Amino acid sequence: MIDRMAAATHPSMEDLDLPTVMHALADPIRLGLVRLLSDGEERAWGDLDAPVANSTLSHHLKVLRSAGITRTREEGKRCFVRLRSDEFEGRFPGLLDTTLALAGEAGTGVADVRLHSAAA
Amino acid sequence: MIDRMAAATHPSMEDLDLPTVMHALADPIRLGLVRLLSDGEERAWGDLDAPVANSTLSHHLKVLRSAGITRTREEGKRCFVRLRSDEFEGRFPGLLDTTLALAGEAGTGVADVRLHSAAA
DNA sequence: TTCTATCTTCGACGAACATCGAACAATCGG
DNA sequence: CCGATTGTTCGATGTTCGTCGAAGATAGAA
């Protein structure tokens, strides 16, 4: 149907509003993903190990992408994800850094998202 | 039924998790309320002028209260609301300040919540 | 071309959510 | 005691959300 080739659509930062962004950050799995990506490195989709089905993981990544938080790059058959840190910082100053600092601590209700065995 | 006298229940900061807090901050009306309270002053419930029915406003204030963001005080027949700034800062450092800074700007999707004519 | 790996989309489900009006409880003033 | 004021709760409605499995689409390997 869609577009592994049409390159997953990414919103312009100007088009984003605060409620949308907050909502994207209001889920344990998505916070776990953001935490995993917090070092700024790009990660392969297939290396992401979250406690949900692949279809659900795809959904969560779409929500993060739609909220301007992550960028997805397609390379052949595989996908890579990373934070849009700099751009996001320009639109919502401080929000990502603050959230990452909080999501990094234990007991904050963030899901355990890690990398599959063969880490990069 | 309940308890204008049992004093609206407020959670302990340790019992709060990040997804809950983010969710509370993911609504235009609630962000508008938080913005209105951002100066730290206590406001009378009846002075709050939000574009929703009273029952809905009551609901939103309950969500904020349950997320540890606001505190409600009852004095006789009337209610007063204020932010739990200091306590909240201790549990989620930086989050409230960052959010308030962002909610204060235009074009961020925050609802227009103000005070009724007779402002305090 | 055919098969395989890699995501994405579809369709469905139950749960949670925002919203309203009406009914209710509590307090204060006659 | 009666009535007005002030929020809160209830019940209902329509929407959105998180989740899954199955089916689809694409790129590369065989």
Write out pLDDT tens, residues A41-93.
999 999 999 999 999 999 999 999 999 999 999 999 999 999 999 999 999 99
Q: Tell me the average pLDDT of chain B.
A: 93
Residue type, A81: V
pLDDT of B8: 83
Residue type, B117: S
Residues in chain A: 120
Written as six digits, the tokens of B115 are 């005070």
Residue A117's pLDDT band (cuts 50, 70, 90): confident
Q: Which residues touch strand D (CB under 7 A)?
A: A 1, 3-5, 23, 26-27, 29, 52-56, 59-60, 63, 76-77; B 1-4, 8, 44-46, 54-55, 58-59, 61-62, 72, 77-79
- Decide yes or no: CATH 1.10.10.10 for domain B17-102: yes
Give yes or no for a contact between B55 and B68, defined as CB atoms under 8 angstroms apart.
Answer: no
- In angstroms, the CA B118 to CA A93 distance is 35
- In angstroms, the CA A87 to CA B81 distance is 36
* CATH pick for A16-115 out of 1.10.10.10, 3.40.630.10, 3.20.20.80, 3.10.150.10: 1.10.10.10
Contact call for A22 and B20, based on CB within 8 A: no
Contact call for B94 and A92, based on CB within 8 A: no
